[in-house]
């Protein structure tokens, strides 16, 4: 069985994330969405909110089994925990590649049985970053072209709009 792990903070889940999830779901038998508990990033949404957002947005994906799995350990340990033999990462720009290149090297040193595959972001989604989406929403801008409708409503609620 091919099990993929797509990790991220997903604070919040964006249309860019959903594009990668939908495409990755066609490549594996089970796709685990690893929701990182990253206290250093100070997420806007709680872990429970992020998990529920992803579950709701992935409910209509039928290409493969989708599992949402919070984690706080090393990514490679999370991959082992869920039985993943492939880590899925999305790339938007050259800056993403430089960081991801380092991560692949470290993960391969820790466990060379887990492969990493990169999916290029759809051209329409390359500029989307959760950090920027939150900033636009905080300042009262329109984020409807960057996040699913339900996520937009939750963002507006967080910022009292």
Structure tokens at 115: 């492969």
Structure tokens at 3: 């099990």
Q: Tokens 């970053």: give the residue.
A: 129
The active-site residue, picked from 69, 80, 92, 138, is 92
The active-site residue, picked from 25, 50, 125, 130, is 130
Q: What is the three-class DSSP state of 160?
A: coil
Whether 17 is catalytic: yes
Whether 60 is catalytic: no
Whether 92 is catalytic: yes
The active-site residue, picked from 41, 55, 124, 161, is 41
Whether 130 is catalytic: yes
Active site residues: 17, 41, 92, 130
């Amino acid at each position: 069985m091919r099990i993929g792990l797509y990790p991220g903070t997903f604070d919040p889940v964006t249309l860019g994330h959903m594009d990668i999830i939908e495409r990755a779901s066609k490549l594996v038998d089970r796709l685990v969405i690893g929701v990182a508990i990253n206290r250093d990033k100070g997420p806007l949404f709680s872990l429970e909110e992020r998990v529920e957002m992803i579950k709701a947005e992935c409910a209509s994906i039928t290409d493969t089994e989708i599992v949402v799995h919070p984690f706080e350990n090393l990514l490679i340990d999370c991959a082992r925990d869920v039985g993943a033999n492939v880590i899925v990462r999305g790339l938007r720009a050259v800056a993403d590649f430089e960081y991801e290149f380092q991560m692949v090297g470290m993960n391969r040193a820790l466990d060379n049985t887990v492969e990493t595959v990169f999916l290029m972001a759809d051209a329409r989604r390359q500029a989307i970053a959760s950090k920027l989406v939150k900033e636009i929403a905080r300042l009262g801008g329109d984020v409807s072209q960057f996040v699913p409708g339900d996520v937009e409503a939750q963002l507006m609620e967080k910022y009292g709009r």
